[in-house]
Chain A
Amino acid sequence: MTAHRIAGAWLSVLLPGLGQLYHRQLGKGLSFAAVAAAGWYAIVFQLAERIEGLLTLGTNPSGFRKVGKLSVMMEGDHSIFLMVEGLIALFLAFLFAAFYLLCVRDAYRTGMLRERGDVPPRLKESLKQAGYKHFAYVVLFIPLSAVLFLTVLPLVFSILLAFTNYADPVLPPAHLLDWVGLQNFVNMLRMDIWSGTFTGILSWTIVWAVLATVTTYVGGVLVAILISQPRLRWKRFWRTALIVPFAIPNMVSLLVMRNMFNNQFGPVNRYLAYFGIEGIPWLTDPFWAKATVILVNMWIGMPVTMILAFGVLTTIPKDWYEAAEVDGAGTFQKLRHITFPMVLFSTAPLLIMQFAGNMNNFNVIYLLTNGDPVNIDYQFAGHTDLLVTWLYKLALNQSQFSYASVIGIAIFLIVASLSIWSYTRTKSYREEDMIQ
């Protein structure tokens, strides 16, 4: 009677479900066997072809062929389809492998049960057990498969594009794509037209992210401190009034701002004219456009920091301030030595997240300036373009999909290394026990 688990496991290796049938679990065995048969069928008849498609991206170009005396347009391979189908096939193959392993394991375990003299559970009992013991997996199945197919798969696809020559004029279905290895990355760094634009935009992206983060952060914290002064009245009113920019959808407020800063007719320049300041080219001059996006970003971003700072401010013990006053500290000294360090300490990780968020701050740039004013030295980009908006323009306006993917990977690398760095920093903070 010791061979049940071995026999069950080997039978399931042969075909999942056989082992379960051997253990007299009819419903379970049959349903596993059905899935397995379908899986094997797909692997035998489909997988090799799909993977070949993924590797070659098509061998049969579209074009005119001679058929008798006529030349006929023949549809060839569509590289994008081949790539997607190959990817999906690979994903499914991995899932199938996981299913296979689980089946074998299940047959082995049931065999062990039988050796101990227990009766193997029937299908109904197994299902009930799955809902109990493996609740986490059952529950996670739907969300994870949604993420897998709607986010991971497109992302992998997008990353793979960086290694192909999918850029205008090579566009399927008229042309076949090819794998080009790291050529696009080399071009981005070496070829003058690309590298000049890339370094220019990269440095502005970093300058922007630093300025945007610092201005909204400092501004938000200061406003929060202002409102939480003990003797200030109507706190609720100020708070609600200053949260309004956050409540208005920023897509709308940015489009509104674009009109407000209109050089000729916008209200901003008209009000400034009262003070004798005339005609500032808010959105059309490279320097002023950069200043404008930072100003507008302050308007949009300060409320969030303010809200968070309120939370921190209430946790600072009152007697610290009283102690400082006894020692003769003024307002400024209290701010410098108590308030700022406390706020900074508890929001430092957030600062890094905001920095990363600003690097990817698409809406502010795209809706306010659309990357303009145009920079003639740049490849398809303007003075205020960030890497993300450039990525967007490259992909959707210029059909330079492979280069767009290269930019996407670059952004990922920057954000990822920042996050890892911040993670280790905050960990070291925690270990140091600076304030607690």
Chain B
Amino acid sequence: MNTRLDRFKLGGSYVVLVILTAISLFPALWILMSSFKTGNSLYSDSLIPRELTLEHYRNLFENTQYIRWFANTFKVAVGSTLLGTALLLLGSYAISRFRFAGRKTTLKLFLVLQMFPGFMAMIAIYILLNSLGMLNSHGALILVYGSGAIITNVFVAKGFFDTIPQSLEDAARIDGAHHLRVFLSIIVPLSTPMLTYSSLMIFNGAFVDFLFADLILRTEEQRTLAVGLYRMVSQRNSTEFTMFAAGAVLVAVPVTLLFLFLQRFLIEGLTAGASKG
């Protein structure tokens, strides 16, 4: 008796989902198509261009320092991921496992630090580095991203460690394992899902940050991809739109693929982070 109504509802759901999927994929599709389009203007009369060309990609590699920027980005992102994950692991493990004097204060400190607008500290670091004459270095970026990662991820990581049963460690300790040994051979392997999530977040953060990197990196050779892309848009917006499109595709592809492949860890991490309360 209800079947016709049900079928109608189900059909309606499919229609809505198709529309939503179209909306969610359109920008990606459009920029991809634009990057293969001939000419350099924003305007095009159809979504799929009549003539395909790889010229913009070639242009990007030949006329800008794209490859160099890519190498810089990779260096900064990998560096901050390594540093950030190491600091995060150590810090959140200690906070989760040991009841030491000052533990509550440390947690509160992290909570308060999270509430300040992120780049309030950033501007201060910029002023400091500027007065010290230490601008334009990748090391400064890595340090700042790496140490910033503790503050943004500590609650997710701590929450994860809280779920690993203490008895596992106790068993190892009874067998005579040292703290460090327990940490390295029991805790670290068990926390792969959380590690994947947080290192993905740190990597992504360093990969796409254009604000702080733009402040710190002053010369074209030192730039990262995100800064290069941002500059391209803010300086020669509509005149070289297709070249921007090619650049955007190249920046987005690695991160997007990583995210989609590691979807499972991402979902776990997000769900864990939401219930930190």
Q: Which residues of A line the B interface, CB within 8 A?
A: 78, 80-81, 84, 131-132, 134-137, 139-140, 142-144, 146-147, 150-152, 154-155, 157-158, 161, 223, 226-227, 229, 231-232, 238, 240-253, 255-260, 262, 264-267, 299, 303-304, 307-308, 310-311, 331, 346-347, 349-350, 353, 356, 360, 362, 388, 391-392, 395-396, 401, 404-405, 408, 411-412, 415-416, 419, 426
Interface residue count on the B side (C-beta < 8 Å):
93
- Which residue of chain B lies nearest to A258 when distances are taken between CB atoms in the complex? B233
Are A252 and B229 closer than 8 Å at their CB atoms?
yes
Are B277 and A226 closer than 8 Å at their CB atoms?
no
From residue 138 to 179 of chain B, which have CB atoms closer than 8 A to chain A?
A: 143-144, 146-148, 150-151, 178-179
Are A307 and B117 closer than 8 Å at their CB atoms?
no
Q: Name the distance in Å between A417's Cβ and chain B's nearest Cβ.
A: 10
Additional A-B contact list (20), CB under 8 Å, known A131-B180, A151-B148 = A80-B127, A136-B98, A146-B143, A151-B121, A152-B109, A226-B13, A227-B17, A241-B25, A244-B28, A248-B252, A249-B252, A251-B209, A253-B252, A267-B44, A304-B270, A307-B270, A346-B275, A392-B119, A412-B116, A415-B115
Residues from chain B with a CB closer than 8 A to the CB of A304 are 270
Are A157 and B13 closer than 8 Å at their CB atoms?
no
Contacting residue for B151 out of A151, A259, A349, A415, CB 8 A: A151
- Pairs A-B, 7 closest by C-beta atoms: A136-B98, A247-B259, A154-B124, A143-B91, A146-B147, A408-B120, A265-B43
Number of A-B contacts (CB under 8 A): 233
Are B117 and A388 closer than 8 Å at their CB atoms?
yes
Are B267 and A307 closer than 8 Å at their CB atoms?
yes
B1-42 to A contact mask, C-beta < 8 Å, 1/0 = 000001001100110110011011101101100000000011
Are A150 and B120 closer than 8 Å at their CB atoms?
no
Q: Name the distance in Å between A358's Cβ and chain B's nearest Cβ.
A: 12
Are B27 and A158 closer than 8 Å at their CB atoms?
no
- Tell me, yes or no, whether B248 is within 8 Å of chain A by CB: yes
From residue 100 to 123 of chain B, which have CB atoms closer than 8 A to chain A?
A: 100, 103, 106, 109-113, 115-123
Identify whether the interface residues of B are mostly helix, strand, loop, or mixed. helix
- Tell me, yes or no, whether B87 is within 8 Å of chain A by CB: yes
- Tell me, yes or no, whether B230 is within 8 Å of chain A by CB: yes
Q: Name the distance in Å between A167's Cβ and chain B's nearest Cβ.
A: 13
Are A255 and B233 closer than 8 Å at their CB atoms?
yes
- Tell me, yes or no, whether B70 is within 8 Å of chain A by CB: no
Contacting residue for A152 out of B113, B144, B229, B244, CB 8 A: B113
Are B100 and A78 closer than 8 Å at their CB atoms?
no
Are A143 and B226 closer than 8 Å at their CB atoms?
no
Residues from chain A with a CB closer than 8 A to the CB of B111 are 419
Residues from chain A with a CB closer than 8 A to the CB of B122 are 154
Q: A84-B131, A227-B17 are in contact. Are A249 and B255 (CB under 8 A)?
A: yes
CA distance A157 to B90 in the complex (A): 27
Are A143 and B117 closer than 8 Å at their CB atoms?
no
From residue 210 to 254 of chain B, which have CB atoms closer than 8 A to chain A?
A: 210-211, 215, 226, 229-230, 233, 237-238, 241, 244-245, 248, 251-252
CA distance A168 to B125 in the complex (A): 19
